[in-house]
Structure 1
C-alpha cells in the first residue's frame, strides 16, 4: 500500500511538472507572437494617435511614408523600440492652400498643422511689374521647386530675404519625430502602445494555453 501511494504521488508530480512546462512553453510562445504583432502594428497605432492631433495623412507617418521608422528593434517586450527619423516638413503636408499660385492674382497662404487650426502663413500681393526689381523682403510666398515628377511637389513657401534672387529661406514646420514626441501626443501614444500590447499578450496566452 505505501508503495502504491508513493507511485501515485510521483505520477501526480510528473503531471504537474508537465503542466508547468506546458505553461512555460506556452508563455514563451505567447511573448514571441506578441513581439511580432507589436513590431507589425505599432507604427499604425502611433500614426492613428498622431493624426488625431496633427492635420497630416496617416500614410506619412506609417512605414511607407516620409517619416517611416528606420529601425524596429528588441527581442523582448521590455526592449522593443521604434526609432523614427525625418526632416522638417513644409506646410504642403498640412493641407496648405492654395497648392499653386493663381496666375497673376494676389493670394493668402494658409495651412493647418494642428487639426482644426487653419492659420495664415503667407501672403502675396500682385504689385510687381514684369521684369521689375525684386522686393527687399517678402512674406512667405509660393515658389517653384523644379519638380518634374507627376506625384512630386511643384510649389512650396519661401521667404525672400533681400533683393538678391537666390537669397531665400524655405518655410518648414515640424518633423515626424517631433510630432510623435510632442506633449500633445506622447502620453496618448504610450498609453495606446501599453494597452494594445497587453491585449495582444492576453490573446496569445489564451491561445497558447488552449483557453
Structure 2
C-alpha cells in the first residue's frame, strides 16, 4: 500500500511538472509573440498620438507595410528581443513647413502672397510674405520675409518650392525655414506622456491576448 501511495503521488507530481513546463513554454511563446506585435504595431501607435497634436500626415512617419520604399520625414529602428530591451529609435532632420499644410504650395505667378502653415493642429500661422514690388532684372532686396524659392526638383513626388529668407543682397545668402523634426515631435511635452501611456497599454493588451491563447483560455 505505501508503494502504491508513493507511486500515485509521483504520478501527480509528474503531471504538475508537465503543467508548469507547459505554462512556462506558453509564457515564453506569449512574450515572443508580443514582441513581434509591438515591433510591427508600435510605429502606428506612436504616429496616431503624434498626428493627434501635430498637423503631419501619418504616412510620413510610419514605414510602409507593403515593403515598398517611400519617402518619409524620418527613419525608424526597432531593436531588442525582450520586452525590457525593446527600443524604438527615430532619426530625422528639421522639417520645412511643406510637411505641415503650407499654403500656397507654389508662388502665384506675378502676384503677392502670404505664406501660412499649421505645425500644430488647428493653429495656422503666417510664416512669410511676398510683395510683388521688385523690378524684373533689378537688384535683390537687402533682407526679405520667408518667401518661396525653387529647389530645382525634377521628380514627380519631390518638393519644388520651399520657404527661404534672403539675408542680404547676395543671391546665395539665404536661409531655409525649418520647423521641428520627427524625433522632436515624439519627445515633445505635448506628446511624450500620451505616447508612453499608449505603448504600455497596447503592449499589456497584446501580452494578455497571447497568454490566454498559449494557455488555451
| TM-score, with length taken from structure 1 | 0.96
SS of alignment partner, residue 103 of structure 1: coil
Let me know the Cα RMSD of the aligned residues: 2.7
Using the TM superposition, give the Cα deviation of residue 64 of structure 1 relative to its aligned residue in structure 2, in angstroms: 4.2
SS of alignment partner, residue 19 of structure 1: helix
Structure 1: runs of 5 or more not aligned: none
SS of alignment partner, residue 83 of structure 1: strand
User: Do 2:55 and 2:100's aligned partners in 1 also have CA atoms closer than 8 Å?
Assistant: yes
In structure 2, relative to structure 1, the CA distance for the partners of 1:15 and 1:66 (3 Å cut) is closer
Distance in 2 (CA, whole Å) between partners of 1:203 and 1:96 is 43
Is 1:135 equivalent to 2:127 in the alignment? Answer: no
In structure 2, relative to structure 1, the CA distance for the partners of 1:69 and 1:37 (3 Å cut) is farther
User: Do 1:67 and 1:85's aligned partners in 2 also have CA atoms closer than 8 Å?
Assistant: no
Task: Give a deviation string over 1:14-63, Cα, whole Å, max 9, x none.
Answer: 11000000000000000000000000110110111000000000011112
Using the TM superposition, give the Cα deviation of residue 6 of structure 1 relative to its aligned residue in structure 2, in angstroms: 1.1
User: Do 2:95 and 2:178's aligned partners in 1 also have CA atoms closer than 8 Å?
Assistant: yes
Task: Give a deviation string over 1:121-180, Cα, whole Å, max 9, x none.
Answer: 000001111111100000000000000011110000000000001100000000000000
| TM-score, with length taken from structure 2 | 0.93
In structure 2, relative to structure 1, the CA distance for the partners of 1:70 and 1:146 (3 Å cut) is closer
Structure 2: runs of 5 or more not aligned: 72-77
Using the TM superposition, give the Cα deviation of residue 2 of structure 1 relative to its aligned residue in structure 2, in angstroms: 1.6
Task: Give a deviation string over 1:79-125, Cα, whole Å, max 9, x none.
Answer: 10011110000000000000000011100000000000000000000
Q: 1:194 aligns with which of 181, 189, 200?
A: 200
Using the TM superposition, give the Cα deviation of residue 67 of structure 1 relative to its aligned residue in structure 2, in angstroms: 16
User: Do 2:64 and 2:70's aligned partners in 1 also have CA atoms closer than 8 Å?
Assistant: no
Q: More displaced, 130-139 or 71-80?
A: 71-80
Using the TM superposition, give the Cα deviation of residue 3 of structure 1 relative to its aligned residue in structure 2, in angstroms: 1.6
Distance in 1 (CA, whole Å) between partners of 2:163 and 2:68 is 24
